[in-house]
Each structure stands twice: as structure tokens, then as C-alpha cells.
Amino acid sequence: MTDKELRKLKRQDLLQMLVAQSKEAARLQAELDEKNEEMDQLMESYGRLKDRLNEKDELIEKLKNRLNEKDAAAEEENVQHAETVERFKEKLDEKDALIEKLKGRLNRKDEKIRKIEEELENIRSGRWKELEDNGFMAELMSKLKTMF
């Protein structure tokens, strides 16, 4: 509305317009207050959520540090276990080599024993024959018969 149109209006019309504008202003003010209250509630809720999120972040950081410590401890244990396994493998290889060496010595000793037993058997059989040839066996048998 222009100034001219506004000047042509009656006082009552102007008052009605003012009342209507006042009502509209009051309605808008109430709506603004309501929106401000909603915004305050949202900001309060946002603050609580932000605090909870910060707490969760702190908890996550603590858990991450504990996990890193556990990972480091597990890695150290793995290294120690690997070193232990390596030492055991080395000892096992040494024992295997010693076993092979002892097997070789045992085989040589067995061969020597077998040869000595063969020689002893040859000597016994040769000595036995010699005793039989000298008549010692016959004499021994006759003495045994007389004893029994």
C-alpha cells in the first residue's frame, strides 16, 4: 500500500490494521519464542550428545592404547617363541647329527663284535677238535660217568 492509499483510510481502518499487525506480531513473537525454546532444547541435547561422544572418544582412545600394548606384548612373545623354536631346531639338528655319529660308531662296534664272535667260534671249534683229537673228551666223559 502506498502513502496516498494509507492517508485515505479512516481512523478505524487504521486501528484495525494496527490491531491486526499487533496480533500478527504477537503471534510471530510467540512462534519465535517457541522456536527459540526448541532451539535451546536442541542445543542442550546437542551438548549432551557431544559430551557422550567425547566420552566415547576417550574410551576408544584408551582401548586403542590397551590394544596397542597387547599387540606389542604379543609381538614380543611371538619373537621370543620364534627364537625358542629356532634354538630347539638347532639343538634338534645337533642331536640328529650326534645320533648319526653314534649310529655309525655302533655299527662299527657291532661289526667288530661279530668278527670277534666269529673268531671266537673258530677258536672254540678248533680247540674242541684239538681236545677231541687228544682224547681229552673221552677221558672227560669217562670221569663224568664214574661220578654219576
- Provide the CA 47 distance to its chain's centre, in angstroms: 40
CA distance 118 to 98: 30
For residue 96, what is the enclosing H or E element? helix 11-134
- Residue length of the chain: 148
pLDDT in tens, 99-134: 999 999 999 999 999 998 888 887 777 666 666 666
Q: What percent of the chain has pLDDT over 90?
A: 64
Q: Cα–Cα distance between 42 and 34 in angstroms, integer?
A: 12
CB count, 10 Å around CB of 136?
A: 12
Q: How far apart are CA 116 and CA 108, in angstroms?
A: 12
Mean pLDDT of 10-15: 79
The verdict on pTM exceeding 0.85 is no
Q: If you average pLDDT over every residue of the chain, what do you get?
A: 88
